[in-house]
Amino acid sequence: MFVDTVVEDKALHKPAFLAGLSITVLAIFFAFNFTNTIFGEFLSPVIGNPEESGFFGRLAVSFVLTILFVGNLLLISFARLKIQILIVWLELFLLFLAFAYSFDLEIAYIFSGQPSKLGLMISKGLFTTIYISAVSIVIATVIAIVGAIAKLSNNGFAYAIASFYTSLFRGLPLLLQIYLIYMGLPQLGFMIDAIPSGIAALSLCYGAYMTEIFRAGIQSIPRGQWEASRALGFPFRLILRKIILPQSIPLIIPPTGNQFIAMLKDSSLVSVLGIWEIMFLAKKLGAKDFNHLEMLLTAAMIYWVLTIILEMIQARIERRYQQKT
Length of the chain: 325
What are the pLDDT tens digits along the chain (325 aa)? 555 565 567 778 888 999 999 999 999 999 998 888 888 888 888 888 888 888 888 999 999 999 999 999 999 988 898 999 999 999 999 988 888 887 888 888 888 888 888 888 988 899 999 999 999 999 999 999 999 989 988 889 999 999 999 999 999 999 999 999 999 988 888 888 999 999 999 999 999 999 999 999 888 888 888 788 888 888 877 887 788 888 888 889 899 999 999 999 999 999 999 998 999 999 988 888 888 888 999 999 999 999 999 999 998 888 887 766 5
Q: What is the pLDDT of residue 69?
A: 93
In degrees, rounded to 5, the angle at the alpha carbon of residue 283 between the alpha carbons of residues 277 and 284 is: 85
pTM strictly above 0.85: no
Q: Is the peptide bond before 115 cis (omega within 30 degrees of 0)?
A: yes
- How far apart CA 36 and CA 263 sit, in angstroms, is 40
Q: How many helices (H) and strands (E) does the chain have?
A: 16, 0
Q: What is the pLDDT of residue 36?
A: 85
Distances (CA, A) of 174 to 118, 141, 258: 28, 17, 17
Q: What is the pLDDT of residue 238?
A: 83
- Contact between 27 and 66 under an 8 Å Cβ cutoff? The reply is no
Residue 260 φ then ψ, to 5°: -60, -45
Q: Which domains does the chain have, with CATH numbers?
A: 11-102 (no CATH), 117-324 (1.10.3720.10)
Output Rg (C-alpha) for the chain, integer angstroms: 26
Give, rounded to a whole angstrom, the gap between the first and last alpha carbons of the chain. Answer: 16
- Contact between 320 and 152 under an 8 Å Cβ cutoff? The reply is no
- How far apart CA 272 and CA 64 sit, in angstroms, is 47
Task: Tell me the DSSP string of 184-216.
Answer: IGGGGT----HHHHHHHHHHHHHHHHHHHHHHH
Could you give the angle at which helices 156-171 and 127-152 cross, rounded to 10 degrees? Answer: 140
